[in-house]
């Protein structure tokens, strides 16, 4: 990711690292083969939920929190009634 700022008549660009989450569950089974995808999505949502408290701008932080909550709701809806996702509430700053 790159952020560029025009300051003092010059363009200053900064390259920022992007965190990668290489989640590899291997070959699924036995049983429902869609669990690894659910687990991967939950890991990523929970990780972002934990990191969101580092966002300094309150409006950006709240927007990300809303997105995380929507993501957990969508995951729960897709997983169905036999699955319970107890999402972390630590992102509520």
> If you write DSSP's letter for every residue of 1-56 in order, what string do you get?
-EEEEEETTEEEEEE-----------S--SS-TTHHHHHHHHHHHHHHHHHGGG--
Please indicate, yes or no, if residue 13 is contained in any of the structural domains: no
CB atoms within 10 A of CB 36: 16
Please indicate, yes or no, if residue 40 is contained in any of the structural domains: yes
Please indicate, yes or no, if residue 69 is contained in any of the structural domains: yes
pLDDT digits (tens, 9 = 90+) for 36-82: 778 888 888 888 898 899 999 999 999 999 999 999 999 989 888 88
Is residue 79 a contact partner of residue 45, using CB atoms and an 8 Å limit?
no
| Structural domain harbouring 46 | 27-79
Please indicate, yes or no, if residue 60 is contained in any of the structural domains: yes
Structural domain total, the chain: 1
pLDDT for the residue 32? 61
Task: Tell which residue, 25, 27, 23, 77, has the closest CA to residue 46.
Answer: 23
pLDDT digits (tens, 9 = 90+) for 3-29: 788 888 988 888 776 666 666 666 665
For residue 2, pLDDT beyond 60: yes
Instruction: Determine if the pTM surpasses 0.75.
Output: no
Q: How confident is the model at residue 93 (pLDDT cuts 50, 70, 90)?
A: very low
């Amino acid at each position: 990711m790159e952020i560029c700022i025009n300051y003092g008549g010059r363009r200053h660009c900064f390259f920022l690292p992007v965190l990668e989450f290489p989640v590899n569950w291997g070959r699924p089974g036995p049983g429902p083969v869609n669990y690894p995808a659910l687990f991967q999505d939950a890991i990523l949502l929970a990780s972002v939920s934990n990191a969101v408290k580092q966002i300094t701008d309150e409006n950006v932080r709240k927007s990300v929190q809303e997105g995380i909550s929507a993501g957990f709701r969508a995951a729960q809806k897709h997983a169905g009634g036999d699955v319970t996702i107890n999402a972390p509430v630590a992102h509520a700053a």
